[in-house]
Amino acid sequence: MRYYSQDFAHKEFLDINLSTFVKKGGVVNDVKGIFPKQVINSRH
Distance between CA atoms of residues 33 and 9, nearest Å: 17
State pTM to two decimals: 0.17
Residue ranges covered by each domain of the chain: 8-41
| Integer Rg of the chain from CA | 9
- Rounded to whole angstroms, how far apart are CA atoms 4 and 39? 6
Dist. CA 24–CA 19, nearest whole Å: 9
DSSP string, 1-44: -----SSHHHHHHHHHHHHHHHHHT-HHHHHHHHS-HHHHHTT-
Q: pLDDT tens digits for 1-44?
A: 555 555 555 666 666 666 665 655 555 555 555 555 555 555 54
